[in-house]
Amino acid sequence: MKMSVPVGRAPSWWLLGPGLVWMGLLFVVPLCLMFVISFAGRGTYGGMVWSFSLTNYLDLFHPLYARILGQSILLAAGTTLLCLIMGFPLAYYIARAAPNRQGIWLLLVMIPFWTNFLVRTYAWMFILRTEGLLNTVLLKLGVVSSPIELLYSNTAVLIGLVYGYLPFMVLPLYVALERVDRTLVEAAWDLYATRWTVFRRIILPLAKPGVVAGCLLVFIPSLGAFLTPDLLGGARSMMIGNLIQHEFLVARDWPLGAAISCLLMLFVAGMMRWSLRAAKPLVQPEPES
């Protein structure tokens, strides 16, 4: 890092204050509480019984929970991959557009956020259902002869997740691609690199921090999604987020819900560590000196 603080003195620590207090009170404290609760027992009426036990964690060894986690990871990974495939060209186009156009494109990417996610998910239900918009159009055009059953399937969940999280992929990718030095690309052309080589050896490595950030921003929330599987998946299967919501809100089994949450967080933290390290060697544009 070549960046330095102008005056040569580290900025005052209290700049951290507001953020630290907020996160401390509203994030760390509940997190610790949840960790403690994950070792408690469930009371008859859904309260907590304060007796230390590992039962909740041992219960999670049931293959059922591994299947839920496995399916969630699969769906989240699929979502991430599709977002990356669609988001990368989009972000690249925006980053290379005329500067005065970029703002408009970015605004368009962010427009969906103006409406609540729940409302937008309901809109997807109208589009995907048997007598919905999509089937009506496809039938009219003669593309299909009978309506396709899209709603209430994992495909619908995937569509909904990709739709919901695409902007989270595009924005960090845009930031990374916009910073790619065009002269490096030109130099590659001058050296007779093919299109594919330019992409693979120049653009992709330089954009890698954006790729990693975008993938994390898409993967983590889609792993914990519970609204989309419920509405677009017709609650026919569960993602890990549904299970946690179910334990906390329906079964009122907070200890088990807390144990699942702790395990999920452990998994996500491990994955982040791994991916951040994986990102590192390529972040440095200059070779080791």
Beta pairing partners, 48: 42
Number of residues that bind another protein (CB under 8 A): 38
Measured from the CB atom, the residue of 220 and 251 that comes closer to another protein is 251
Closest distance of CB 237 from another protein, Å: 5
Q: How buried is 16 (Cβ within 10 angstroms: 0-12 exposed, 13-18 middle, 19+ buried)?
A: exposed
Measured from the CB atom, the residue of 94 and 256 that comes closer to another protein is 256
Instruction: Please pick, from the candidates 14, 61, 114, 192, the single residue that binds another protein as defined by CB under 8 A.
Output: 14
Measured from the CB atom, the residue of 59 and 178 that comes closer to another protein is 59
**Residue 238 binding another protein, by CB under 8 A:** yes
Instruction: Please pick, from the candidates 11, 53, 67, 270, the single residue that binds another protein as defined by CB under 8 A.
Output: 67
Beta pairing partners, 41: 49
284 dihedral zone (left: phi>0; alpha: psi -120 to 50; beta): beta
- The region of 95-103, 184-192, 237-245, 262-270 touching another protein under the rule CB under 8 A is 237-245
Instruction: Please pick, from the candidates 64, 111, 143, 283, the single residue that binds another protein as defined by CB under 8 A.
Output: 64
DSSP SS3 for 131: coil
**Which residues, other chains included, contact 171 with Cβ-Cβ below 8 Å and sequence gap of 6+?**
91, 106, 109, 110, 214
Measured from the CB atom, the residue of 91 and 128 that comes closer to another protein is 128
Measured from the CB atom, the residue of 116 and 289 that comes closer to another protein is 116
Distances (CA, A) of 175 to 178, 210, 211, 215: 5, 7, 10, 14
The HSE-up count of residue 231 (CA atoms within 13 Å, CB side) is 19
Tokens at 235, concatenated: 């609650």
Measured from the CB atom, the residue of 70 and 281 that comes closer to another protein is 70
**Residue 155 binding another protein, by CB under 8 A:** no
Dist CA 52 CA 147 (whole Å): 54
User: Which backbone phi and psi does 100 adopt, to 5 degrees?
Assistant: -75, -20
Using CB under 8 A as the binding rule, the residues of this chain from 247 to 266 that contact another protein are: 247-253, 256
Q: Which residues bind another protein (CB under 8 A)?
A: 13-14, 17, 21, 42, 44-47, 62, 64, 67-68, 71, 125, 129-131, 149, 151-152, 230, 234-238, 242-243, 246-253, 256
